[in-house]
Structure 1
């Protein structure tokens, strides 16, 4: 598959992301080469207006001037005639299409910074996964999580980016190279610790298991220092940082340990933990039950098994249909 075809596949998807055929073609192309995912993410970011890092040896301004000239002089692009001497195919290209094509050229010019040679991308679907980073730190990924780190990680920096999902970091101490996690609008910095970062649509949550970390909104002086047992919540497009101290038996890391523990926990908090762990919606129709307390441990059990035990232990009614659980 040549570069022009690659561009066509990505552009068609970006122009109409709901088109199933475009989704299929993009997915097949990404599966062909691990580096194609990095290329797609870079093009997607620039398509939506993210700034493009420029390599010092690359004349970005000059290339944009050349592109401008091209746009003024070339209203159409003509593909070469095929061997059967069919009539040339003419494609009208709008400025956005040319812009995306130019973006690919700029990516090539800064390949060592943002392309497949610049960082590695890891993503999970339904499964969980774990890996050891080049510096010896351990990274545990929840389902539906995507992270990136530079190929030079551990040499001159220890920067990791979590684009979405949830990850637990067990960081090897290195005072000379602080470990930094970048999440949407939020930066977390540590020297050596174990902590959890969850990047959701509403914001980012950081929970510390051991050591100390700082959490801050990017571009804002205000930050908070977190110690073991403390969780910080940083909202999207926000400036305030809310903190909460959890008791020892909490379920923030249940996705990693696969064990849910409730120590006289109110039913409304139980519902929140189950909803997060099993990715379902839970409604307590009878609010008089919200203060009922549960004392139980569920080691790697299915949702229906857990609900059956709760039903018998608390003597309550529970229905479970599809992704909706009703407690009444």
Structure 2
């Protein structure tokens, strides 16, 4: 008898035909939990339908939820309905939300079997790969992040990855010819890749010639110690005025004694003033252009200069650049010597 009465009350509630007293009675029966099977069957049947009908709106489902969760005594027990706000909705959407709220409130495990819910994996935004390679081409002086310098010959390139360089190792790739002056760091070996050949150092000065026009790769040491090999074996360790020559195709190699000065003679075409004081700079300029340079004010020697002249610039061009940088003037005396005048540097 009570089952039939509850079914009538529930149908009446859905049709908004219950009085306040009948709504109160239906709520009390729901709390008893004796009609869970009916509710489950009724809701599942309605959810399978694809028709449009009047159903609980959001306020009704919220009111049922609040009631079965035992609201304080001073709040009204009667669920208020507002017919003016009722509307027709698609059963599969709004009624699903309302009925689920009701079933959760009842807390009966017979309604739904536990299911494993897979965590939602947030969409990973598309990452555009960034090129982190630093590329230098043509004759120039390259300053590496670790303080090392590389003087590139003409038709040569140097590359390194700015993200990995100076992490565990310091690695670069060379095509062509270059003279390396490497900052000493025993914890981070410096490695030059030229094809299959690897030249490994801790801190030294050396020349690598891997020009495409040659069948060989030549590694020559000017200062320090250099290890040459490939990924499988070490060919040898060489010291100043020694050279290892490796065939690019067969990887056969030979070690010889050479003059590092002759091997690196190509550098004489360049004038590199890399953060030098003027006393050092004047010495290099005098040596290259075979000219005597006199400094009229000793304070000029305190000035520092950084400049590279790689295109066989003449002496006047070099002096004009230097004079503009350190605010000096130059002139020739009767003997053909260069005189530098200026206030100098403290």
Which bracket does the TM-score occupy, shorter chain normalised? 0.3 to 0.5
Q: TM-score of the superposition, structure 1-length normalised?
A: 0.41
Return the index of the structure with the highest Cα Rg. 2
Q: TM-score of the superposition, structure 2-length normalised?
A: 0.39
